[in-house]
Amino acid sequence: MESIFETTSQMDVQTPTSVGPLPMSTPTMTPSTIATITITSQAPILPTTVSSTIIQNLPNFGSLFGFNNRLRSLEENFSDFMQTNQFAGAVSAILGIVQRYMDQRRNSWILLWTSPILMNS
């Protein structure tokens, strides 16, 4: 057997080959199985401009949650409080002034009435 392989490997043998047409069958395709790809070129879509009135009408964060109304209400309440507080301060200051005036008048009356008594003693 080895001699056969040796002689075969040493010999340059050309074997005639013939290529015949392959049998082919024609596939039957229904129109529903045909896939079509359509490539179209489109012009670039430019960004649309929004009018400024639309943007102005959009709610901002403060107006969305009513912070503007709350802030306005707090400012009004604080202003009322400050006016009331200043008024209360002015009233209490007036009462203090009246009290000092009354004390001075009382002391002067006491001195006026007690001075003759003190002089006689």
The confidence score (pLDDT) of residue 102 equals 92
Q: DSSP characters for the chain?
A: -HHHHHHHHHS---------PPP--PPP--GGG---------PPPPPPPPPHHHHHHS--HHHHTTHHHHHHHHHHHHHHHHHHHHHHHHHHHHHHHHHHHHHHHHHHHHHHHHHHHHHH-
Mean per-residue pLDDT for 14-20? 60
Return d(Cα 111, Cα 113) in angstroms, integer.
5
Answer whether 0.75 is exceeded by the pTM. Answer: no
pLDDT per residue as tens digits for the range 85-117: 787 778 778 878 888 999 999 989 888 888 887
Residue 9, pLDDT above cutoff 60: no
For the stretch 21-79, pLDDT in tens is 656 566 565 555 555 666 666 666 766 665 666 666 776 766 667 777 888 888 898 88
CA distance 99 to 3: 146
